[in-house]
Structure 1
Amino acid sequence: MKYQTRKKALVLLADGTIFYGKSVGIEGTSTGEICFNTGMTGYQEIFTDPSYFGQIMVTANAHIGNYGVNDNEVESDGIKISGLVCRNFSFTHSRADSNGNLKDWFEKHKIVAISDVDTRALVAYIRDNGAMNAIISTDVDNIDALKQQLSEVPSMEGLELASKVSTKEAYIVGDENATYRVSALDIGIKKNIIRNLVKRDVCVKVFPYDASFEDLSSFNPDGYFISNGPGDPAPLHAAQKVAKEIIKRDFPLFGICLGHQVIALSNGISTYKMHNGHRGINHPVKNLLTGKGEITSQNHGFAIHKEETESHKDIEITHIHLNDNTVAGIRMKNKNTFSVQYHPEASPGPHDSEYLFDQFIDNIRKSKE
């Protein structure tokens, strides 16, 4: 595609700020909360992560699409971002095992994407002014209409999105004769979480977001898992009720990201929307139990209140984010429950935190004994 033939496009932020660019061939308009990811690789995994549902993604990495797409490198059944904003979009790709180029993949999933945006300036602006709703469009001559459309987009705060990405029917992954059985509550689960459990000799049954404790228990599991996912955790009352029931019975429970927040809420610890979330694959975390540092993959716009966590008699903070001192992990002192705010299943990496899956399996093994 020749550069001069490409259609103009824009990013309009909720405060009226505009950044201009070029369409990458998928014309139209899309809305969502704008956020940025600092990862230098793994764009396909980012785009298919259910936790990004309802968000327009700005990639800090300058080159997107250069290694194409691979059908095996997805975290869900399709693209979950609302749209893409990038600096340089590669219409050609150069990787031996790719299945095609990113442009065709976006067109297949009807995703609006624009490039040639000054993403360094845009990321700096979001960093300083906070995450906000935005609209991206090729309809650059109708700013007033775009502003009106953007004004009708709901805030991420208070927004329940788990129901938009969760499975509709329960399903089983893994060998049904595996050593361990785990019931997973899907509020936006990533495929690599399931892969990490299955490779540890676990048969996983994945349940819809609104499943009850009785539903999950019908699988006769050895442990329970609450997944990552998009949106505000506060409206997820059914998931919080499930967490309470599991904790009350002291069954092994592990939560990641949104699941971590649900576990905190079920213990009376509130959550809040961050000025800017943590999104990238190089976030430093300290394990307070071992004193070791971890480089982690993170993707969240909400966090649990640190002061409330510190004063909770039944909760211990196990991990801390070293950039801003936010809570990155907790465990219950007298129950078989722990959770982290980041992604130990990180794909394409880093893999510093995979030990948390081993810890979960060890908790299950001890519980069975």
Structure 2
Amino acid sequence: MKRVHTSWEIFWRFLSLGCFCFGGPAAHLGYFHRYFVERLNWLDAEQYGQLVALSQFLPGPGSSQVGFAIGLQRAGLAGGIAAFIGFTLPSFCLMLGFFALSSQHNLDFLTLASGLKLLAVVVVSDAVLSMYKHFCQSHSSRIIAVLSASVLIFFSAIWLQILVLSMAATFGMLYHTHLKLGSVPRENLPTTQSLWLSLGLFFTLFVISCWVVYFSATDSSHLAHMAAQFYHSGSLVFGGGHVVLPLLQQNVGSALTSEQFLSGYAAAQAVPGPMFSFATFLGAQLVPLTPISGAIIATLALFLPGLLLVFALHQHWAHLSNIPRVAGATLAINAAVVGLLFSALVDPIIKQAVHQISDIVALLIGFVLLRWLKIPILLLITFYLAYAYLIR
């Protein structure tokens, strides 16, 4: 009974955060630290830092994975699920509402979409610059980022993205073995049953999703096929919500117009909570006859791989991260992710959003407002919506 009560508390805590956590994964992690480490003392700074490092190493939505892990530590699997639902529910509902608005095909929606596309350019540009400064501090990591971006700008096939990430990880394992790591106590590890069950389920579903994506002729409007496409994308997203864009574009983008795809992505920038809620909008668009079912299945399928891996590894991470080759692979993957994100910024984000000189001026103003003046994201949204209405 105590665990049930704790799970409800976790749900309401994360629900409140999900209603106002604007600004993307990095901002979410800042909110989590202030709320759960400094205010509630649910875990200490060292434990929190380990969870953040784990989320950077695994594919999936970083802030949602950290929230899920906090729930796991607090109340087991029920607590993890409560944290995930609470944090995701507000953005899920808002993106479903955005789909309902978009289905009306009126001028107001088209104007709204054009403004939100420009917002997406500014937010992703800021993310690229921030990630470059954080993940590309060494000469070798900068080379990895530049090479990754150069290849993926000209060749955007999904298999090539996977190859780039794999080659970066291999390079990091071989050449970044000099990292200075802290010592980890050699206490007994927790039971490995959850580890192998979760990893087994993750890889089984991944193999099935690969078969469906590459060999099945069923279209994306079939719920099972759509679930496989989103699970496949969620299994390969290193670097957080922004990086899901090129993967989803490859998997489901052909079933939607570029207007629908980028409008949904831009809307995901404008709502609080995890950017993976982009899947809510896409799922509803792909199955317009049963949009709620499509939204639920797409959202769960995109989040599931990252949550399975966190459930498997969160208790073992302190030991794994002390292995130099694992730390080196993480460093190199993060650098390659910067290149991947830059290629997505060039095409399709800028290509689809910028059409005239005034758009470029509006982007420069927005970037200054966000990057240097650090205005709240809601004010930036208002700026671009006003701009869209003025030039329509």
Normalising by structure 2, report the TM-score: 0.28
Q: Which one has the bigger helix percentage?
A: 2
Q: Which one has the bigger strand percentage?
A: 1
Normalising by structure 1, report the TM-score: 0.30
